[in-house]
Structure 1
Amino acid sequence: MHKSGERIFITAKLPGYMRVGDDDLIERYLFLTNSHDGSGSITAAFTPIRVVCQNTLNAAMRNLSNVVRIRHTANANLRLQQAHKVMGIANQVSAELEPVFNQWAKVRITDGELKKLIEMAMAPNREVLGKLKDSKLEELSSHYTNMVESVYEYALSSPTQNMHTTAGTVFGAYNAVIMESKRLCKAAE
């Protein structure tokens, strides 16, 4: 998918799952993104986020570590080595994220803390983060506040948010942001 010819991406579902608690299974994905004109290198990385639009691509791209950048070359052997490296990274990151998500599922938060986490996670830039930090909520756009309210409502009312791993937990806040971001992407199509 590209936006005004800027970026394209593909997402591939990997076999297996990450397990949070006893019965919350998280799918695993690889995504590749590139500039539409091919001027940059291809970025390949693991994510538990199914990339479906620019919003979820941005979420997946934030704070990436263990990324492979593949240069546009004709050397097939080098590309195969890089692809092997991407698969190794995907397995390593998945193994590292599973215990983090399980720990987040044990950290209880209040509804007020949930709202603050959602506000920070949905902030599109540092300017919005600054307004949140300075409690200048009246200066935030209605588009942003509506997105936050949508995620907050999802976090409190969706059946998937009432599991013991998500209800009133940091993992639930993370899950709400990811799931509602996907829904907002689909609604914008």
Structure 2
Amino acid sequence: MGISNKMADELDGIFNQWTKVRITDKDVMKLIQQAMAPSKEVLKSLKTGEELSTVFKNICDNAFMYAMASPTQQTETTKGTLFGAYNAITGYFQNVKEYKDEEAKVKSIIGGTGQLRTQAAFDLCLGYAKNGEEALALN
């Protein structure tokens, strides 16, 4: 129980910090694309400007639209903030993505694709909070 409380406190501190970090719409899209990339090949295509699949583009566009239009994304702590960018990805998997049923949704969010993409977003946001937009530079 103590470990859970400590982790919750740490996350709370990180998320509070992220509410103070400003991020441009352009960088929100970059973060979404990198977090949602299903493979190294897609990341390479993002770097080189190669054509991306329509499915991937639609996923990114839907997450971006959630970031820009959802009422929960328009508050002082989310709109234009790093926390809002992170929340757009978690919100996509919880509120936008369609699943065949609730069981599939839970599996995705707890241990599947949703969890993997959310972790990627978290890692990117940690880097952005520390290094700004250079954290989104594809090497």
Aligned positions of 1:76-115 closer than 5 A:
87-115=1-29
Q: Which protein has greater RCO, CA pairs closer than 8 Å, 6+ apart?
A: 2
Q: Percent identity?
A: 48
In the other structure, the counterpart of 1:183 is 95
In the other structure, the counterpart of 1:163 is 75
Q: How many residue pairs align between the two structures? A: 100
- Larger Rg belongs to: 1
- For residues 142 and 88 of structure 1, the distance between their equivalents in structure 2, rounded to whole angstroms, comes to 45
In the other structure, the counterpart of 1:14 is none
Aligned positions of 1:17-166 closer than 5 A:
87-136=1-50, 138=51, 140-166=52-78
Q: Give the AA of the match of 1:175.
A: N
> If the length of structure 2 is used for normalisation, what is the TM-score?
0.67
Deviation string for 1:7-55 (max 9, x for gaps)?
Answer: xxxxxxxxxxxxxxxxxxxxxxxxxxxxxxxxxxxxxxxxxxxxxxxxx
Unaligned residue ranges in structure 2 (runs of 5+): 101-139
Contact kept in structure 1, 2:62 and 2:96, CA below 8 Å:
no
